């Protein structure tokens, strides 16, 4: 099913290819990209390392993972649930970071590109 791009809002003009290229090479866009990467890349690496640690412990440290913490709750269950908690915390943290640092910069670029600045 083919989708069409909606027409521009009344009073706005579509930027040219040259304008997109100019903005992409601007310092403002570079700062936006740097703000995103400086947050996303380290957290992605950290989370993947944390996940792989869990997988490796599950595979090679069965005795440790089977250690009872309380009742029938063992280390594997605690670390597994911590994976979910970590995922939600990272998503919440990213949403705060995006709202504070990324969205204002992106909105300024968008406004300028659409001819509103």
Place of tokens 């989708």: 3
φ and ψ at residue 34, rounded to 5 degrees: -65, -40
pTM over 0.85: no
Task: Flag whether 10 is in a domain.
Answer: no
pLDDT tens digit sequence for 19-50: 888 888 999 999 999 999 999 999 999 999 99
**Looking at the domain assignment, is residue 70 inside a domain?**
yes
Give the position of tokens 């996940």. Answer: 51
Domain membership of residue 38 as a residue range = 29-113
Using one digit for the tens of pLDDT, what is the confidence trace for 73-113? Answer: 999 999 999 999 999 999 999 999 999 999 999 999 988 88
Kindly report the three-state secondary structure assignment for every residue of 25-84.
CCHHHHHHHHHHHHHHHHHHHHHHHHHHHHHHHHHHCHHHHCCEEECCEEHHHHHHHHHH
Number of residues that make up the chain = 117
Q: Specify the number of domains making up the chain.
A: 1
């Amino acid at each position: 099913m083919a989708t069409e791009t909606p027409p521009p809002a009344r009073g706005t003009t579509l930027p040219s290819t040259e304008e997109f290229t100019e903005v992409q090479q601007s310092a403002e866009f570079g700062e936006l990209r740097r703000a995103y990467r400086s947050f996303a890349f380290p957290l992605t690496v950290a989370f993947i390392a944390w996940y792989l640690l869990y997988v490796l412990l599950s595979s090679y440290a069965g005795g440790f993972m089977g250690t009872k913490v309380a009742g029938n709750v063992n280390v594997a269950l605690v670390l597994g649930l911590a994976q979910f908690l970590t995922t939600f915390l990272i998503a919440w943290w990213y949403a705060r970071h995006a709202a504070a640092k990324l969205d204002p910069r992106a909105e300024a670029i968008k406004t300028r590109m659409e001819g509103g600045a």
